Amino acid sequence: MANLHSAIPNAHRTRRKVSAPLRAGDRAPAFSLPDADFNMVSVAGLRGQNLVIYFYPRDDTPGCTAEALEFSELEMDFRGSDALVLGISRDDCMVHGDFRDKHGLAVQLLSDVEGDVCRRYGVLEQKEYEGQRRECIRRSTFVIDRRGVVRHALYGVSPRGHAAVVLQLIKEI
């Protein structure tokens, strides 16, 4: 009997590739994503400075708001350490703009609606919600040095107090 799966063209398969988690020493995957103002942000254009890229589940939820506020409060400290902080979720640009404006956030929020960058960074996980399995972001942060190398890959972090821990990691680079 023929393998039915092999008879289905690739375009009709719905499985998406999920990358293995990143580790310290890995090269950070390159990407370009739009921010809350629809401006494209390219990681390749940010080489030469340290980066903090944090992935979070959803705008305007209690944990995500606390995390974004803490990163925003420490923005000048991060800049003083030659580091740029980027927050990424699957919310669209308009939602990011509303979230930023509502809370006066200073961090740059990027939109990965399709989840492609999330997959490359290995931050998606399957969760069951209201009887259905969904692909959700596992709260994670990456500290990336000036050469584009991951120095710290932190998965499953707690949002409160996390920004201060990450700032200390940046200062140690």
Pair of tokens at residue 21: 């988690």
46, 119, 11, 92 alpha-carbon torsion, rounded to 10°: -70
- Catalytic site includes residue 64: yes
Which residue in 64, 93, 118, 136 is the catalytic one? 64
User: What stretch of H or E contains 117?
Assistant: helix 116-120
Q: How many residues does the chain have?
A: 173
Structure tokens that stand for 137 in this block: 């972001």
Separation of alpha carbons 23 and 29, rounded Å: 12
Query: For the stretch 132-154, what's the b/e string if a residue is b when 16 or more beta carbons lie within 10 angstroms of its beta carbon?
Result: eeeebbbbbbbbbbeebebbbbe
Yes or no: say if 96 and 117 are a contact pair by the CB < 8 Å rule.
Answer: no
Give catalytic residues, as residue numbers. Answer: 64
